[in-house]
Amino acid sequence: MSEPLLPTDPASIGGHRLLARLGAGGMGVVYLGRTEAGALAAVKVIQAEYADEPDFRARFRREVETARRVTSPWAVPVTGADPDAAAPWLATAFVPGPSIEEAVGRHGPLPVRSVRVLGRMLAAALREVHAAGLVHRDVKPANVLLAVDGPRLIDFGIACATDETAITSADMVVGTPGFLSPEQAEARGAAVGPPSDIFSLGCLLAYAVSGRPPFGTGAADALLYRTVHDEPDLAGIEAEEDTEDGELLTLLHMCLAKDPADRPTAEQICTVLLVEDLVPDGGPIDWLPDDVVRGIADRSSKMLALPDIEPTVADAPGDAERPSPGRRRLLLASGAALLMAAGGTAAWAALRDDDPPGASASRTRRWAIGVQADLSGSQRTAGQAQERGARLAIEQFNSRKSKPFTLTVKTADDRGTTEGAPAAAKKLIQDEDVLAVLGPSNNETALEVLPTYDEALLPVLSVSAGGLLLTSQDYRSYLQCRPADAVVAFPMAVHLAALKGARLPGLLQDRTAQTYGWEASQSTTLLLRGFGLQPYPRVIPANTEDVKPVVADMLGAGIDSFIYSGYAPGAARVARELAAAGFEGPRLAPQAVLDPEFLELAGDAAEGWLLTSSFIDASAVPAAAAFRAAFRKRYAAEPGYYAAEAYDTVNLLIQELVKATKRGQPPKRQELVGLLRKSRYKGITKEFAFKPEDGTFDGWGVFLHQVDGGRFRFLGEAPSEV
């Protein structure tokens, strides 16, 4: 459960001697620490680069204040914090036991009595949370640790006061799909109150007693849909009222009621529904299976046996013994031997001090921009377009007479798969010449490797990945050089709201598209409602071939426009059915349908469809004329989608590299991340700007295309308002 400290980790934080790593994420690291008195603590340390971001520091300060407001024996107490430190930190009491998620995964479902006691104590914790005017909002198996004397509720990072405005957007789904409430799944904002935590508690208890989430597993959109519309799967839990199983089943049904008003309060669970499972004051609680208890004991002994760390130079006392010259020579010799073994003569040459001050490192090596993309798989057309756009930008830069350095391109083909992505990322990370990476080219591969790039602090700039999960994670080295998928779907609602006489838009979400389809449909629904249009929504299961019944249902309801949220093959099936029925109203779809496959499969039925995108058609944009001419000369072909966007992104990189290069030395990778997030660049496709705190795209950059004469005709920038 713990890992050794890295050489870059501090030796102590806030009076805690650090012993090991407990975990790491995009925004920081959680360490196992020991106080001078010998008490163990979990110390959450935020990366120093976020210290200058007021919004982030406010968020962390709120987490500290929120956690301190909860006083319950079943919630992990805060033992220290400094949100104003250069690297803000928060310490809580360390619990050596596993999470419910880990315990169930390793030992199987918990006995019914264990789950009843678990529910009683967690309800007591939530009673204190709600009494403090808070909503936890992320009650899930991973956020409950098991100890011999009872569970501990942890992680108040996204908790919110019931009487304050959340820092997160009111329209954002906050929580963990599969363990959140219907009101969270539908992003109802202020409607997410204490009953939401009770629903999540029901999900958690169902998981603990059955070993499976009550709304199944799979893509986030599927889980959210089932949470709102389907009944929970509680099969296998006995229903006889006079048994513990039956009483637990009754409680689960009450907690998992769709209407928040029908759920019990935490107080009612403690004092009425599970009153016989009272927890003795100060006495032992025999509530966990023997194998779980043995695991907790083993972990406790290992934690207590961890040795202290010797003081480092940074925090050693003033009278600490300094290494002797002989000792120092031995360390340097050992380090040189390791460098020689790892990198040969090139690594040794990098440490030499023979060049005069100001000598350029580019005399002996060429700095590189990496490209991780699908260059040989099913999405190779887009990946190859990005590589070509990047190469063209670098070749044009290298042709300048007064260039301060020379660049090259280094590629890593991930074949567009999550299996190939890690090796591609590792190849670029280990190449010291690579200063930044363009890519990856789809959401799945990006999610797979961004944590790895984060660990190396290697800047990653994506022009084609745009999933909501990418923008909701706290990645340190990521920049999204395009609006998110949900934003790209906005113009569909704007377009319909601007039409005179629009009354009832039909909205079909194809679950073949999983998260992508859900994001597009959710954002469109919210915006349509904001414009006063209530859509007629329908959802079809994944891989549905026969769409005629659902299309007939929607037409029978009297829809006057149609929005499809999914991929190109499904859109083609729908287009053919609409054409066969003689429907001539507006038909719209998001970027994924802007694919030659849609034209091929739909045929004449594709005519008139309006599509949104985050990319331009370089042949139809006057500002891209010079780029298009250079591209055709270099590659004897028209630039494909994303080629111009990749060209712009690499020119943005070059702009910041030129400004930051000093005395022939490039900026370090971590420094470059900060510079890029604060940069602005006017490209041929759009104006690039980012939110410094998370690297998300800060601008519009959404475009319209329409099928006309069997081809996609570029209409220009999409309107952002009616």
Positions annotated as catalytic residues are 138
Residue 150 contacts residue 196 (beta carbons within 8 Å)? no
Determine the distance from the C-alpha atom of residue 587 to the mean position of all C-alpha atoms in its chain, rounded to a whole number.
31
Give the closest residue to 588 by CA, choosing from 551, 554, 570, 563: 563
Phi then psi for residue 143, to 5 deg, are -105, 15
The angle subtended at Cα 572 by Cα 568 and Cα 575, nearest 5°, is: 130
To 10 degrees, the CA torsion angle through 13, 16, 17, 18?
Answer: -60
Instruction: Determine contact, residues 375/398, Cβ cutoff 8 Å.
Output: no
Question: Which residues, other chains included, contact 47 with Cβ-Cβ below 8 Å and sequence gap of 6+?
Answer: 27, 28, 87, 476
DSSP secondary structure letter of residue 141: G
Q: How far, in Å, CA of 381 to CA of 501, rounded?
A: 40
- φ and ψ at residue 697, rounded to 5 degrees: -65, 135
In 89-210, DSSP assigns E strands to 89-93, 134-135, 144-147, 150-153, 160-161
Helix ranges restricted to H, 511-663: 514-530, 548-556, 568-580, 596-602, 625-635, 643-660
| Side chain identity at residue 213, one-letter code | P
Q: Name which of 475, 571, 473, 555 is nearest 520 in CA terms.
A: 571
The whole-angstrom separation of Cα 395 and Cα 390 is: 9
The amino acid present at 609, given as its one-letter code, is W
End-to-end CA distance of the chain: 53
